[in-house]
A and B are shown apart, each in its own frame.
Chain A
Amino acid sequence: MRAFVLAFAVFAAGLAPAWAVLPGEILDDPILEARARDLSRELRCLVCQNQDIDSSNADLARDLRVLVRERLVAGDSDGEVKAFLVARYGDFVLFEPPMKPATYVLWFGPALMVLLGAGGLIAYLARRRRNPAVPAAPLSAEERRRLERLLSDTDTPESNPQ
């Protein structure tokens, strides 16, 4: 039982998020610190590229975390902090791409595809209702005989009549 508890504790410790923020970086003001943590999670570490600066141990990520906190202490709004970094590193520094003409395809593309698909489906169904398919001509006597032969005789492959 004790071994099980221990194993579970080790497993649970592995699930806890990696703690990249060093004690020295944390602000005294808990509200500002909370804002800094939230902001840091929305900002990309340019070195690791798929990690936010809050959880990254990269040197640049640490510099950026400190910079974010400095700007918050100086009275910047969250938007101003982001704008400061976007001016230097581009929109790529933000995990959520901003809405602007260059990203319209990204934001509206999926909805547009759904609309196109739905439109095509509606047009197709409407056309099918307007001109229902012509029923196929009934089988001729010869075809009917051949069909029966095929259905009754499943084991031997059909020999070509020609």
Chain B
Amino acid sequence: MTTGMVIGRRLAYLIPLVVFGILAVYFAWGLNPNRDPRALPSVMIDQPVPEFALPPIEGMEGPGLSAADLRTGEVTLVNFFASWCVPCRLEHRFLIELAMQDKVRLFGINYKNKPEEARDWLAKLGNPYGRIGADTTGRVGIDWGVYGLPETFIIDRDGRIRYRRAGQIDQQTLDETIRPLIRELSQ
């Protein structure tokens, strides 16, 4: 038996260890309770915002929202919301906090919502949005790759999408992801 064969045989004993290591990493990833297996990565990351131009919510004053508004050299949060969306109501206070305290530029896209219900909702809960576009058909939502409400995007100064949150914003996301990223992009 040559030395090479001996070393080869010794190394073969390591195979179970390597297999165990691979499985352990895989299970640690798969069983992580913080991982949402339904979450989809956005393909829009680092892409320029899609072209769109939306009117304001019917019966509300204001200019509506278009892609050009997101290319004015300021970091912007874009939030898709609707009055029928329960998690939107839960995250609303964080949006108000971002707009009022952090002075973040926040625009809203009102997704498939009856205008009177959207107006009532904003009147009751407060309106943190600098501009709101009404996406009554949901077509702009599709162009942004939206598949459920709420969804929140962070747009950098060049009008590129840098972050997408599908689902409700919570305190942890706000403090650990959204605020640091806005700070970083604003520098």
Contact = CB atoms under 8 A, between A and B. Distances in A.
Interface of A: 46-47, 49, 59-60, 63-64, 67, 86-90, 92
B38 A49 contact: yes
A89 B112 contact: no
A57 to B, nearest CB: 15
B147 A90 contact: no
A47 B142 contact: no
Contact of B138 (A46, A49, A63): A63
B145 A60 contact: no
Contacts, number: 37
A47 B148 contact: yes
Nearest to A67: B142
A89 B44 CA distance: 8
Contact of A46 (B40, B41, B112, B139): B40
A90 B138 contact: no
Contacts of A89: 40, 43, 145, 147
B144 interface: yes
A21 to B, nearest CB: 18
A94 B69 CA distance: 33
Q: Of residues B38, B41, B112, B138, which shows the largest number of chain A Cβ atoms within 10 Å of its Cβ?
A: B138
Given A47-B147, A89-B145, A89-B147, 10 more contacts: A46-B40, A46-B148, A63-B137, A67-B139, A87-B43, A88-B44, A89-B40, A90-B42, A90-B43, A92-B40
Interface string B74-109: 000000000000000000000000000000000000
B23 to A, nearest CB: 15
B46 interface: no
A59 B112 CA distance: 10
14 contacts: A46-B147, A59-B138, A60-B138, A60-B147, A60-B148, A63-B138, A64-B142, A88-B142, A88-B143, A88-B144, A89-B40, A89-B147, A90-B41, A90-B43
